[in-house]
Chain A
Amino acid sequence: MPSETITSESRDSAPAGDASAIGARTASRGTIAAFLGPVLVIYAGFIFYPVIRTFYNSLHTVGPQNTSSFVGFQNFTQLLFHDATFWRAVGNTVTFTVVGTVADVLGGLLLALCLFSQAPFGRLLRVIWFTPVLMSYVVVGIIWVWLYDYDWGLINTILRWIGLGAFEQSWLGDPHTALWAVLVTHLWKWLGFNMIICLAALYALPGEVLGAAELDACGWFAKLVYIIIPMLRPTLVNLLVLSFVGKMMMFDLVWIMTDGGPLWATETVSTYVYKRAFNWNSFDLGYPSAIAVLWSVMIVAFVVLMTRLLRQRERLEF
């Protein structure tokens, strides 16, 4: 059918037809508008516009009743040079992210390897280990607040029980341990996710290559380092990026467990944004908008950098 050859050329070359649109892959403007309309409207109003508005706000002081006055880059200079709390939050978030991301992905890979080597009850374990991923941060956070409790929390209880009572801490109350305690909880929630993805990737590995490695005198460690990790590289890089972004934007868990305390030890950039917007003595949406803009730009920059560095150039087929 001639009209089909015309419309099946490069994607956008076919004009949006009129009511008599002919061809397998065209539809009238009205139809397309009807299908896409709601989504485009929602996007325009509740995604694009707010994002633009945030950028706009970052250059203003936005008071209550929508009063805003242009301040140029003042918010940004204030942020970068005079806001110690911001930098504290950045430090916390970056530490959290860097350590957490590596632990997340490596941990997920190791768990997947455990299940992949045909552990008994593999399917059941998979399901159980994935459960924390499905729970809200509220549930996870509160449970762990209780586990970390100084007096009756499970962790200290076990430490006392096995005679290591000297190590008991106020895990969330001590500025030195609080961030790490939150990190452990975060890992507890997300390891299952990385595990599932690594597991799927492991099953996709060609069995014969692993057999060849076996014959090439590879022990389990050598196989892991020389064969599995290199071949899993695209998946691992994806997981690193996903984990990285998720942790850089961390709000919920910190809010629930420590509210940024004690003494800003667990304050993250996201919680700081919220506090500057809604919990500050003077109401100004401009400043937190500036933080949001700056932080988003930094995240994008880091992700681009990471991908450039870690992605492999060629597509290895197997």
Chain B
Amino acid sequence: MAVVTIEKLCKRYEGAGEPSVRDVDLTVGDGEFMVLLGPSGCGKSSVLRMIAGLEPITSGSVAIDGRPINHVAAKDRDIAMVFQSYALYPHMTVGANLAFGLRRRKVAAAVIDQRVQSVAERLGLTPFLARKPHALSGGQRQRVALGRAIVRDPKVFLFDEPLSNLDAALRVTTRNELVKQQHELGTTTIYVTHDQVEAMTMGDRICIMNGGKVVQIGKPLEVYRNPADTFVARFLGSPPMNLLAARLEQEGAHFFAQVGDGRYPVEGYAAEVLARYANRPVTLGIRPEDLYESTSANAAGARLQPISTRINAVEPLGAETLLLLSVGTGEELIARIGRETELRPGQSTALMLDAAAIHLFDPETTNAIPRRP
């Protein structure tokens, strides 16, 4: 059992004006794969290092299975970490790298041997045991780093952007590998990355951080579908969600979002919530995939409304096409449509917008307008 509880964790570096991590609250369940996602500098690596014990905690607490570990030395926390640069000991062989932590802990030699062999087999490293890290490829080194963590059989795995030094193709296969290993081992895992694709595909839950704070925690698809604010809305999804300035209008019991000269019914929100924003500016969010060419729009459940646009650029990507557009107000949008299109830059055309997929955000706080009160 390894439940990691983080409460009001704060970090301020010496001499820095602002704290890098502010009041982070997070609970990771036993065996869960939790991804800490955020842009560079958002504090996620600091959080990870504080959990590992490589960074002192300014305030707040970290506990494993209820036992606070703030003042426990890193080596006694029963945590293993895979570093971004793998951090293999360059002067030792792969076998020695794997065995080092166990040797230092005075584990019996026979046990060490057996564990090293089994981990090497598990990760396909057996032919490399006698090699030194500089004779290995990036992917192989990454596996050694993973192996070093696995061989310790710890309560918690920590990963600090382990895939960022790999090339794109290797990244895809390796992230599958990692998830598969984690499921087999069932070890609680906290994984830091700035890559939203990794987060979406690997995490049981994701925790999004920005500016040192936790912005949203939830299952990947839930966070995708219900972003808590404009930051999350634009961070997940590529191309990012389009945000437009709009006005919320009320007609009796129905609400409409007025964008330029387009008028879209707003659904899926409780009337009392929307009433507060009646006749006031709101930010309207619509994902690129929820805009359709009028000729091909037929998505089930879509409530399609036309939106008049001017096409600035057409980017055929092969599997899909991106349209860079402007609306009447001058704001720019990106739409994601089918493989081929007749549309050309400079044309004005009406695309179809799925009103059921509209997100509304408060323009001042940038928070999402809640669907229920």
Contact = CB atoms under 8 A, between A and B. Distances in A.
Contact between chain A and chain B defined by CB under 8 Å: yes
Interface of A: 206, 208-209, 211-218, 222, 226-227, 230-231, 233, 312, 314-318
For the complex of A and B, 3 pairs with smallest distance between CB atoms? A216-B101, A208-B87, A217-B75
Given A214-B75, A217-B75, A222-B104, A209 B81 contact: no
Interface in B32-53: 49, 52-53
A216 B87 contact: no
A316 B85 contact: no
B182 interface: no
Interface string B37-73: 0000000000001001110000000000000000000
Contacts of A312: 91
Contact of A214 (B54, B88, B100, B134): B54
B228 interface: no
Contact of A215 (B75, B90, B132, B133): B75
B55 to A, nearest CB: 9
Contacts of A211: 49, 52, 54, 81, 83, 87
B274 interface: no
Residue of B80, B86, B88, B100 with most chain A CB atoms under a 10 A cut-off: B100
A214 B74 contact: yes
A209 B134 contact: no
B79 interface: yes
A312 B90 CA distance: 12
22 contacts: A209-B87, A209-B89, A211-B54, A211-B87, A212-B81, A212-B83, A212-B148, A213-B89, A215-B75, A215-B81, A216-B100, A217-B75, A217-B101, A217-B104, A218-B104, A222-B104, A314-B134, A315-B134, A316-B91, A316-B133, A317-B90, A318-B90
A212 B87 contact: yes
B105 interface: yes
Nearest to B135: A314
A314 B75 CA distance: 31
A134 to B, nearest CB: 31
Nearest to B106: A217
Residue of B87, B88, B101, B132 with most chain A CB atoms under a 10 A cut-off: B87
Residue of A214, A215, A318 with most chain B CB atoms under a 10 A cut-off: A215
B84 interface: yes
Nearest to A231: B91
B101 A215 contact: yes
Given A215-B52, A217-B101, A217-B104, A208 B90 contact: no
A218 B49 CA distance: 17
A120 B89 CA distance: 30
Which interface class (under 10, 10 to 19, 20 to 34, 35 or more) fits B? 20 to 34
A212 B53 CA distance: 11
Contacts, number: 68
Contacts of A222: 104
A209 B101 contact: no
Interface string B90-129: 1100000000110011000000000000000000000000
Interface of B: 49, 52-54, 74-75, 79-81, 83-91, 100-101, 104-105, 132-134, 148
Contacts of A314: 132, 134
Contacts of B84: 208
A216 B54 contact: no
B85 A206 contact: yes
A226 B132 CA distance: 15
Contacts of B100: 216, 226
Contacts of B104: 216-218, 222
Contact of B134 (A212, A227, A317): A317
Nearest to A222: B104
B40 to A, nearest CB: 17
B89 A215 contact: no
B75 to A, nearest CB: 4
B54 to A, nearest CB: 5
B74 A227 contact: no
Contact of B90 (A213, A214, A217, A231): A231
Contacts of B88: 209, 212
A208 B134 contact: no
Nearest to A118: B14
A316 B87 contact: no
B11 to A, nearest CB: 16
A317 B91 CA distance: 9
A206 B87 contact: yes
A111 B105 CA distance: 29
A231 B148 CA distance: 19
Nearest to A318: B90
A230 B91 contact: yes
B98 to A, nearest CB: 10
Contacts of B52: 211, 215
Nearest to A312: B91
A199 to B, nearest CB: 20
A161 B53 CA distance: 47
A214 B49 CA distance: 12
A218 B83 contact: no
Contacts of A318: 90
Nearest to B81: A215
B75 A316 contact: no
B89 A227 contact: yes
Given A215-B101, A226-B89, A231-B91, 20 more contacts: A208-B83, A208-B84, A211-B49, A211-B52, A212-B83, A212-B88, A212-B89, A212-B148, A214-B54, A214-B75, A215-B54, A215-B79, A218-B104, A222-B104, A233-B91, A312-B91, A316-B90, A316-B91, A316-B133, A317-B90
